[in-house]
Each structure stands twice: as C-alpha cells, then as structure tokens.
Chains A and B, each alone.
Chain A
C-alpha cells in the first residue's frame, strides 16, 4: 500500500462471516462467499435491505471483525490482521456522529491526528482546515451538545477527513438527517473524498443516495450476496429512474426467491 501513489485496490475474495447467537448458539451467516473488487479512488455505494450484511461488511472492512473464511485485502494488507498498519490510512463516518461529548468540535476533529502522533500545532491547523471546509469555522470551541445534528455530523466528517485517508468508509452516514441536510452533506462528502483522492465506500439502504453518490453501486442481497454490480457512469442521468426501478426489482426478486426457498 502506498500513500504517495494513491490508495491501493481492494480485493474481497470468498468472504464469509458467520456469527453464533449467544442465547441459542445457532450459527447465522451474515456474509456468504462475497467477491468484490474496488478500484483505487472509486466511490462505491453498497445498497441492500436491512439485515443483508451491509454493516457486517463495514465492520470487516475497517478490521473490527475478522472473516470466518475468505479475505479482504487492501493492496497486500488485511484490515484485521494488519490492524495497526491502517492507522491514519482508513477513516470512518458512522450513522450517529459518535463525537466524544467532553471534547469541543476542534478537539473531536483532532482525535485521529493525535492517534497518529502529529505535532500539536499541526494537529490544530489540520483540524481547523477541515472544520472550515465543512463550514464550522465559527463553532470550533462548541461542545457536541451545543451543535445541531447536521453540524455534529459535519464534525464527524471533518474528523474522518482530517487524516486524509486512503480509504473512507461511511455507514448510513446521512440516513438520519433531513433530506435537505443529507443531500448537502452527501455532496460535501463526495467533493472532499475526490479532493483527498480517497477510495470511498458508502453503505446505505437508500437507492437515491446510492445513485446520487456512487460511481458504482453494489447491490447486496441476503447474506451479502452480490446481486448486481452497476457502473453508474454508464447510465445517462435521464435514465436514473429506470436504474432505480431495476435495482428495486432485483431486490424484490431476491426477497421473493428467499421466501419461496423458506417454503
């Protein structure tokens, strides 16, 4: 993996994740033999219904979970086995802002920079730069409880971009915001990801969001099976309605198949 030459490609091969339920001990397959390749600097939206394994894929991507079988390789490194290697190279934005309530906006944005051990002055400068880019220059000393939901999510985005990561992951990062704020933040997020030259992986259950953001859309069915892999650039913007309907149909067909299989 080389930061100088931009982010490396991501190869997901035969990825399988099985959880054991704590109460019943029953095995639950969250991801079943997933194959996916993500090109450097690509913005990919992963879309699918609730419970299809999107969030498990997210946890596996950031290395918080280990695959039961198969692998995720970012260049020649694994996010879980080479966990520390990705410090400062991978960043995340979650559904909730997950800001530390005892830290001001500036100190929250500084957090990843502190972890990679940058000098204090540089931490401050970089965090301020990113807060300014997100329109929070006047609120750097505000605590999270003093900010609105949209502003808090902006701080969370500034925190993630402050390390200028090679890989940026967002898990339903705009889903809880009102439509106007969400659309605005999505555009900002996309612009910043392109500016940083990061590979961006967005997990979402909203088709509109996936179409609006992704260069590519990976449609996940149950157990994170790849149902469709769509390159949005190949579609004319006027045909987005058709694209939306096609994805919806794919998901509905898979749901019907699953119901039939269950009898």
Chain B
C-alpha cells in the first residue's frame, strides 16, 4: 500500500464564503442600527457608523498593539514552560502531585479580577503585575492539560518504551512529549484567547501602554468608535495568533492526516 500524500496547503488563513456572508450581514445590520439609533432614542455616539469606526482604526497606535502582543506572548511562553515543568515533576512524583493538586485547584478558582487586585496590592511594577496575572491564570491551564495528557499516554506505549530501557530524559523526549503535542496545541489555543482577554483587563488597571490602556482612554473620552476600533484590533490579534498556532499544529501533526 503506497503512503498517502500529505496535503501541504493549510486552509487556516482563508475565509470560507459563509464567514464572509455572516460578516457582511453583521456589518449591514450594524450600519442600519447606527443610522436608526437617533430614531430609537439611542445617542448617536453609542453606535458609531462603520465609516467612523474605520476612521478610528486608522488612528490606532501600532506601539500599543506591539506592547500588548509582547506581553501576551512572553507570558504565554513563561506559563507554558512553568506549567510543563511542573506537570512533568507531578507526573513523576505522586507525593508532589498530592501536595500541589489542591493548590492548583484553588489557583484556578480565583477570579481574574481578584488576581489583578492582588497584583496591584503586592507588586509595584506595572509589567510585573501584568505578567504575574497572566502567568497565574494561564499557567495552571497548561499544567492541568499537559498532566492529563501525560496520564492518557497508552500503557502499551509506555511499557514498550520502557522495555527498550530509555533514560528518564529519553522517556520524556521520545515518548511523552510527542504524545502530548496535540493537547499542547489545544491548550495554547485556549490560553491565547484567555490571555488576550486577561491582558486587556490587566492593562485597564494601572498600565500606561497597551490596548487595554487605550480602551480605558477611549472610555474616559466617551469615544465609542475608538472602543470599537481597539476591540476589532483585539479580535484580529486573537485570530492571527490562533491561525499561527493552527499552522504550526498542522505542520507538526502531519502524521494524523
């Protein structure tokens, strides 16, 4: 049986017709609502026209996007490394797992707003506050997901691997890590969405740069067009990051074709 050819093209950055149609319908409804707002007793500034939102988008400062993006990526990498390292340690040690598990559960139950308040009270530096909040929210998700995935590696594969007598490092590198790659990607996708939302809230409190800060300024100036413009940027950022992850995922998980 000849091996199948693997499709090299990835449809992650293309828009299906249905998506374009639904976006178009939304835009038409929005424009209609914006036009009708004064007749419905809604202040005109509350639902700005698409033209005004587009104009607001042109005034967006790329440096704020870059700052937010850098914060998100740095925090996600730190959370992933920390989460994976702890998951590996917990997989190897039942005792450590028993002690850390309740703590992780508590961390995951604390609301994001509480973490932001704790960060403001505990730490003086803005960057550290934002980083702390992101890591404390995203880290446990990486940890729990990767630990579950490690436990789900089939017993048959584990005993096969052990029968060839690998070192502990070889066991993790040759078996456990590749086996949990699909879960790692799912976890990244979940955490990107979470981090984008959390960073925005964290930047609202105390930051002087970033998309969250710009949203706060727009809100103080009652500039709904700017709020929408920055929101569009956030959504686009989320889609872009997810598309990048999906592309890497497709490349690394060719064997699942």
Contact = CB atoms under 8 A, between A and B. Distances in A.
A30 interface: no
Contact of B181 (A88, A102, A146): A102
A115 B166 contact: yes
Contacts of B255: 101-103, 143, 145
B163 interface: yes
B162 interface: yes
B39 interface: no
B164 A112 contact: yes
A141 B178 contact: no
Contacts of B164: 87, 91-92, 111-112, 115
A83 interface: yes
Contact of A111 (B174, B179, B181): B174
A139 B167 CA distance: 29
Interface stretch (B116-124, B128-136, B153-161, B228-236): B153-161
A31 to B, nearest CB: 18
A114 B178 CA distance: 15
Interface in A76-107: 83-84, 86-88, 90-92, 94, 96, 98, 100-103
A131 to B, nearest CB: 13
A98 B165 contact: no
A94 B160 contact: yes
B163 A100 contact: no
B3 A100 contact: no
Contacts of A94: 156, 160
A64 interface: yes
Nearest to B166: A115
A148 B160 contact: no
A122 B1 CA distance: 28
A36 to B, nearest CB: 20
Contacts of B3: 139, 141-143, 146
A148 B174 contact: no
A199 to B, nearest CB: 16
Contacts of A139: 1, 3
Interface residues of B, number: 24
A62 B165 CA distance: 9
B170 interface: yes
Nearest to B252: A102
Interface in A45-101: 59, 62-64, 83-84, 86-88, 90-92, 94, 96, 98, 100-101
Interface string A124-164: 00000000000000110111011110010000000000000
A261 B13 CA distance: 71
A103 B178 CA distance: 9
B14 to A, nearest CB: 26
B221 to A, nearest CB: 53
Contacts of B175: 100
A176 B256 CA distance: 24
B17 interface: no
B98 interface: no
A149 to B, nearest CB: 11
B1 A148 contact: yes
Interface of A: 59, 62-64, 83-84, 86-88, 90-92, 94, 96, 98, 100-103, 111-112, 114-115, 138-139, 141-143, 145-148, 151
Interface of B: 1-4, 156-157, 159-160, 162-167, 170, 174-175, 178-179, 181, 253, 255-257
Given A91-B164, A96-B156, A102-B181, 15 more contacts: A64-B162, A64-B163, A83-B165, A91-B163, A94-B156, A100-B175, A102-B178, A111-B164, A115-B167, A115-B174, A138-B2, A139-B3, A142-B1, A143-B255, A146-B1
27 contacts: A62-B163, A63-B165, A64-B163, A84-B167, A86-B165, A87-B164, A91-B163, A92-B160, A92-B163, A94-B156, A98-B156, A100-B157, A100-B174, A100-B175, A100-B179, A101-B255, A111-B164, A112-B164, A114-B174, A115-B164, A115-B167, A115-B174, A139-B1, A143-B255, A143-B257, A146-B3, A147-B1
